Amino acid sequence: MNDQYDFTNYKNDATLLTDTVRSKLGPRVQGFIDIDEEYCSACGSYTDGDIVVIVECVAQGDLWRDEATNWIRISLAEYDSANRPDLHDYAYGMTRESIAELCDVEDTEDANAFQLAIHAIKDTEDLKSVLEEE
């Protein structure tokens, strides 16, 4: 990426990322995303009733001096259908050791982190298989 990332598009990029997650999970998907445009961060989780996809996005560095880069982690967990926890518990309350990582990316010279994360989601044939590998 030769140009600096345009943080004015942050909300659109975060929404596109979560739309990709929703599309991958199918018609039974439920979930949420909290987007903080001022500090360029987003956190949320989505489920299809079997798998939970946890999305974490943050701009690292100094936003006001154009010295920031995006960092995105997409994680997976099995949905606890017996106890039916709130999806906020997955996004904000789970220890990261209890989940599988789909991708952990940041901006590069060639692509921004949102593009990399979207490709990781689209390129994963079966999300459940990622959980089984862990």
Retrieve residue 62's tokens.
Answer: 């100094």
* pLDDT tens digit sequence for 13-51: 999 999 999 999 999 999 999 999 888 999 999 999 999
Residues 118, 45: Cα–Cα separation, whole Å? 15
**Spatial CB neighbours of 94, under 8 Å, sequence gap ≥ 6:** 54, 77
**Choice between 95 and 56, residue whose per-residue pLDDT is larger:** 56
- Kindly tell me if the per-residue pLDDT of 1 is higher than 70: no
Residues 111, 106: Cα–Cα separation, whole Å? 9
* pLDDT tens digit sequence for 67-126: 788 999 999 999 988 888 889 999 998 766 668 899 999 998 888 999 999 999 999 988
End-to-end Cα distance, the chain: 32
